[in-house]
Amino acid sequence: QVQLQESGPGLVKPSQTLSLTCTVSGASISSGPYYWSWIRQPAGKGLEWIGHIYTSGNANYNPSLKSRVTILRDTSKNQFSLMLTSVTAADTAVFYCARISYSYGYMDVWGKGTTVTVSS
Amino acid sequence: EIVLTQSPGTLSLSPGERANFSCRASQSVYSRYLAWYQQKPGQAPRLLIYAATSRATGIPDRFSGSGFETDFTLTISSLEPEDSAVYYCQQFGDSPPYTFGQGTKLEI
């Protein structure tokens, strides 16, 4: 059974960098074909795809966030990570990691989500 | 960017009734890349339908999907109280961003 678990600070100061890690169990992020993704959801609002990293290590990002986002992977720990720089209050959200099917583009396995608040 | 517009914003129905959720795309979406999710308060979204019409593993057959190109529909044939949730459509097109609709809230 594939499981994903987000971890990282719940509070980040404005202008700083938000860093989260997703730990994957039950599957290898090096074998596919899957994308490993980050999605966020501000309180009471909809879902926004942030970006994903493929089994090859190539990453794609939402153009609206591309200048501030980096997604990396650590295959030795079976983890992938999100870094979002220069955060503001508008970046406050629940952040989810999820697995995306390469063939169909659906997100079939999700983490439970972690809330990140940007505040001084 | 492909914009997905869902309607209605809120649906209020009774147990046993039929629910139809609409998802309209600003440009054609290949059916293979259209999915539906259910999200309950405090939970992560749950995949219901992928490739526009295929039910995900463990999803009851009262959930079904239809549509193509720019018009897609999720149908719940006979509502159960536990179906109260927000429902999202999502597309995974040729290029990013891969977008979600704004959601339809179902109240039972």
Those residues whose C-beta lies under 8 Å from the C-beta of residue B15, and which sit 6 or more positions away, are B79, B80, B81, B108
| Rg of the Cα atoms in chain B | 13
Average pLDDT of the segment spanning A10-21: 97
Instruction: Report how many Cβ contacts below 8 Å link chain A to chain B.
Output: 66
Distances (CA, A) of B11 to B2, B47, B71, B105: 24, 20, 19, 6
Nearest to A21 by CA among A80, A74, A67: A80
Distance CA A97, CA B36 (A): 17
pLDDT higher than 80, residue B13: yes
Mean pLDDT of B46-72: 97
What pLDDT does residue A56 have? 86
Question: Per-residue pLDDT averaged across B70-83, rounded?
Answer: 97
| Residue B45 to residue A26: CA distance in whole angstroms | 20
Given a cut of 80, whether residue A32 has pLDDT beyond it is no
Residue B38 forms contact with A (CB below 8 Å): no
Q: Is the pLDDT of residue B8 over 90?
A: yes
Query: Which of A6-18 are b and which e, b meaning 16 or more Cβ less than 10 Å from the residue's Cβ?
Result: beeeeebeeeeeb
Residue to test with chain A: of B43, B98, B104, most A Cβ within 10 A = B98
**Mean pLDDT, residues A13-42 taken together:** 95
Q: Is A44 on the interface with B (CB under 8 A)?
A: no
Average pLDDT score, chain A: 96
Question: What's the mean pLDDT when you consider all of chain B?
Answer: 96
Q: Are B86 and B107 in contact (CB under 8 A)?
A: no
Residue B82 DSSP label: G
The reported pLDDT for the residue numbered A18 is 98
Q: What mean pLDDT comes out for the span B89-102?
A: 92
Give residue B23's pLDDT band: very low, low, confident or very high (50, 70, 90): very high
Rounded to 5°, the CA angle B95-A35-B83 comes to 90
For residues A41-62, give the mean pLDDT.
95
The helices-and-strands tally (H runs, E runs) of chain B is 0, 9
pLDDT band at residue A99 using 50, 70 and 90 as cut-offs: very high
CA nearest neighbour of B82 among B62, B108, B56: B108
Is A3:A25 a contact under the CB 8 Å cutoff?
yes
Tokens 């989810």 map to which residue? A96
Give the pLDDT band (50/70/90) at residue B105: very high
User: Average pLDDT in the A44-61 region?
Assistant: 94
Q: What is the CB neighbour count within 10 angstroms for residue B8? A: 12
Structure-token pair, residue B103:
């959601």
Confidence grade of residue A31 (pLDDT, cut at 50, 70, 90): confident
Q: Indicate yes or no: CB of B46 within 8 angstroms of CB of A62.
A: no
Q: Is A106 on the interface with B (CB under 8 A)?
A: yes
CB A62 within 8 A of CB A56: no
Residue of B nearest to A108 (CA): B47
Chain B hits for A61, CB-CB cut-off 8 Å, are 96
Chain B residues closer than 8 Å to A47 by CB: 45, 88, 90, 100, 103
What amino acid is encoded at A25 in this protein? Answer: S
